[in-house]
Amino acid sequence: MKYKITPGRVIFLIIDVIILLLVAFVCVAPIIHIIMGSISSPEKLNVYTKLIFRPLGKVDLTPYRIILKYKKLWMAYRNTLIYIVSTCALTAVLTSIAGYVFSRKRMFMRNFFMLLISFTMLFNGGMIPTYIIIRKIGLVDTPYSMIIPGALSVFNIILMRTSMQNVPQELEEAARIDGATDIKVLFHVILPLCKATFAVIMLFTAVAKWNDYFSALLYLPNKQQYYPLQMVLREILITTTSDITNTQSLQNSATMYKKAIEYACIVVSTLPILCIYPFVQKYFVTGMTLGAVKS
């Protein structure tokens, strides 16, 4: 395709590119600032009031050495990874069987049950009653409260059901003639054909769990040892109640390194995800489009 190049067009394109570059800059600048700030010399970092694009003064890795010894952060890191893996596993099983049940035409009153479940999207008990129920069944202050309550969502069920409905009926019938049970049909015939949807659901679940601090705030009031990473980061960055700056190794220089330590914590907790996401980006695009088409 050829476009006639007029002066107006050129001016528009220049402005367009400038705006886009500006957006990209705004998106990436704070991230560079944090990375560079975390390895800057603390004296300069503490008095510098602009964005940082290269290390200030001599590169100083002390903050990383300090947080390496900060057990609580690594425990929380491990907890978050455990929560993500367990939640994903539970979500995988529950969403698959729910999608299977609600996509089978022979299922008794399936539309009624689907309606019953969809209703919870429209109206729910809310924060406090949910908390009371979770406390009643004994999940509060246990790691299970981080895994079970959010594992099954209506939205995921709908995605899965739609995807499973599109698998040709004949495949199931063929498998049945070969003597396959429901479990075999689901896990060996239907699920492998819904890989894309499955991957999208797993990805969204994992990211949601990674970001989640609020359920820990509600359901883990007294158990710091079960805190996910985001709760510990909240202590360090927001409520500043963390004891990291009081660790034995730096009584004298504690306040000096405070800001650099905060930055270093952000780097170790965020950089891994930022490195992974370009590779899974395309699944997000699929997921967003899937969701929009369905809803």
Interaction with other proteins in 98-127: which residues (CB under 8 A)?
98, 100-101, 104, 106-109, 113, 116-118, 120-127
Report whether 87 contacts 150 (CB < 8 A): yes
Three-state SS at 118: helix
Site string (154-173) toward other proteins, x via CB under 8 A: --------------------
Q: Is 273 in the site for other proteins (CB under 8 A)?
A: yes
Residues 46-65 that bind other proteins (CB under 8 A): 49-51
- Provide, rounded to whole angstroms, the least separation between the CB of residue 289 and other proteins: 5
Report whether 200 contacts 120 (CB < 8 A): no
Distance (Å, rounded) from C-alpha 80 to C-alpha 171? 39
Which listed range, 61-69, 71-79, 96-104, 194-202, lies at the site for other proteins (CB under 8 A)?
Answer: 96-104
Distance (Å, rounded) from C-alpha 176 to C-alpha 185? 8
Cβ atoms within 10 Å of 2's Cβ, excluding its own: 4
Q: Is 152 in the site for other proteins (CB under 8 A)?
A: yes
Of 68 and 217, nearer to other proteins (C-beta) is: 217
Residues 191-220 that bind other proteins (CB under 8 A): 207, 210-211, 213-214, 217-218
How many residues make contact with other proteins (CB under 8 A)?
89
Of 100 and 250, nearer to other proteins (C-beta) is: 100
Of 71 and 136, nearer to other proteins (C-beta) is: 136
Distance (Å, rounded) from C-alpha 109 to C-alpha 164? 18
Which listed range, 81-89, 195-203, 241-249, 287-295, lies at the site for other proteins (CB under 8 A)?
Answer: 287-295
Among 10, 11, 19, 196, binds other proteins (CB under 8 A): 19
- Residue 106: phi and psi, rounded to 5, are -75, -5
Distance (Å, rounded) from C-alpha 205 to C-alpha 84? 8
Among residues 59, 57, 35, the alpha carbon closest in space to that of 48 is found at: 57
Of 53 and 249, nearer to other proteins (C-beta) is: 53
Among 10, 11, 14, 23, binds other proteins (CB under 8 A): 23
Report whether 146 contacts 220 (CB < 8 A): yes
Q: Can you give the C-alpha Rg of the chain in angstroms?
A: 25
- Provide, rounded to whole angstroms, the least separation between the CB of residue 223 and other proteins: 15
Q: Is 181 in the site for other proteins (CB under 8 A)?
A: yes
One-letter amino acid of 64: Y
Site string (218-237) toward other proteins, x via CB under 8 A: x--x--------x--xx-xx
Residues 243-272 that bind other proteins (CB under 8 A): 259, 262, 266, 269-270
Q: Is 182 in the site for other proteins (CB under 8 A)?
A: yes
Of 68 and 237, nearer to other proteins (C-beta) is: 237
DSSP structure class, residue 152 = -
The whole-angstrom distance between residue 30's C-alpha and the CA centroid of its chain comes to: 20
Which pair of tokens denotes residue 269? Answer: 């907790």
CA distances from 83 to 96, 218, 273 (A): 19, 16, 16
